[in-house]
Amino acid sequence: MKLDRLGAIVNLYDLPPAIQVTAEDGLRIITLNRPDELNASTTEMLMSYPKLFRSLAEDPQARVAILTGAGRAFSAGGDFNHFTKTLDDPDFARAVQDNARRTIHSFIDLPIPIIAAVNGPAVGWGATMATLCDIVLMSEKSFMAEPHINIGLVLGDGISVAWPLYMSLLRAKELILTGDRITPAQAVEFGLANRVVPPDQLMSEARALADKLLKQPRQALEESKKILNLYLRQSAAQVLDTTLARQLSATLSPEHNALARAFLGRK
């Protein structure tokens, strides 16, 4: 067992080092920990998310979780090496889609409440993770974006499930079809976040919310979340398989291949 300087248990659940989970009594703090790469998810991280959510669900001491990023970003989405491999290996791209299905379902089915503390950019997969959480706090220095369309991909899996449910379909179409940045104030206005918080108060605000939830009766809290997430489950049942199939088709398309290689060539 490893403890941090405050005596909290760290590195739970045998996850990659880039997914840090710290235990503080009933609170679990999940930190995406690739700050130099803006917490973009590697293949190893992406393939570990179902295990993360399953482990949280099976942890008898876990009551509430906070999800945040190390450094100046929440998550810039997927790592470029992972991205390149999907271009070169169709079998790998199919495995990625299967893992995405497991991840979205395990995220939605997580029984404990999870608070997103969005400390910086939340782009693509980062925006998916933020908006599948139960309460979303955004730093004044953060933003969201869903830019898949800019490189010839259809919208992200979790985005297709959540965003049209949280806001008007017209608004969701505009944000997804343009890939425009969404400011923190816009995220609150559009229904993608609960409130905007000064950067130096983000984690204290998230902890204060977690403390409130930790004081609630456990069964009532978890059963209430389960009822509310039926809306997300129904949405996933309607659109997720179609989204993933069309994502795979787009991933293997000449249009995406040309756009993605041009994009990677500028990096």
Q: Assess contact for 87 and 134: CB atoms under 8 A.
A: no
Question: How many folded domains does the chain comprise?
Answer: 1
Determine the Cα–Cα distance for residues 171 and 173; give it in Å rounded to an integer. Answer: 5
The pLDDT assigned to 8 comes to 55
Helices 230-251 and 254-265, interaxial angle, to 10°? Answer: 90
Give the angle subtended at the CA of 229 by the CAs of 198 and 197, to the nearest 5°.
Answer: 5
Q: Which pTM value belongs to this model?
A: 0.93
The pLDDT assigned to 252 comes to 86
Q: Assess contact for 136 and 118: CB atoms under 8 A.
A: yes
Determine the Cα–Cα distance for residues 242 and 120; give it in Å rounded to an integer. Answer: 30
Reported confidence tier of residue 214, pLDDT bands at 50, 70, 90 = very high
Q: Assess contact for 162 and 127: CB atoms under 8 A.
A: no
Reported confidence tier of residue 171, pLDDT bands at 50, 70, 90 = very high
Chain centroid to CA 186: 19
According to DSSP, the β-strands at 195-197 and 114-118 are unpaired
Determine the Cα–Cα distance for residues 48 and 42; give it in Å rounded to an integer. Answer: 10
> Is the predicted pLDDT of residue 196 greater than 60, yes or no?
yes
The pLDDT assigned to 206 comes to 98
Share of the chain above pLDDT 90, in %: 80
Determine the Cα–Cα distance for residues 158 and 116; give it in Å rounded to an integer. Answer: 15
Please give the average per-residue pLDDT across 16-23, as a whole number: 95
Reported confidence tier of residue 2, pLDDT bands at 50, 70, 90 = low
Q: How many CA atoms lie within 13 A of 111 on its CB side?
A: 16
Buried b (16+ CB within 10 A) or exposed e, 222-244: beebeeebeebeebbeebbeebb
Q: What tens digit of pLDDT does each residue of 215-245 get?
A: 999 999 999 999 999 999 999 999 999 999 9
Q: What tens digit of pLDDT does each residue of 24-66 get?
A: 999 999 999 999 999 999 999 999 999 999 999 999 999 999 9
* Domain ranges, residue 19: 2-202+210-265
> Is the predicted pLDDT of residue 3 greater than 70, yes or no?
no
68: domain CATH number is 3.90.226.10
> Is the predicted pLDDT of residue 266 greater than 90, yes or no?
no
Q: What tens digit of pLDDT does each residue of 96-110 get?
A: 999 999 999 999 999
Q: Assess contact for 92 and 85: CB atoms under 8 A.
A: yes
> Is the predicted pLDDT of residue 154 greater than 80, yes or no?
yes
H-assigned helices in the chain? 43-58, 80-88, 90-108, 125-132, 157-166, 169-178, 184-190, 202-214, 218-228, 230-251, 254-265
> Is the predicted pLDDT of residue 176 greater than 70, yes or no?
yes
Q: What tens digit of pLDDT does each residue of 130-153 get?
A: 999 999 999 999 999 999 999 888
Reported confidence tier of residue 6, pLDDT bands at 50, 70, 90 = low
Determine the Cα–Cα distance for residues 145 and 153; give it in Å rounded to an integer. Answer: 14
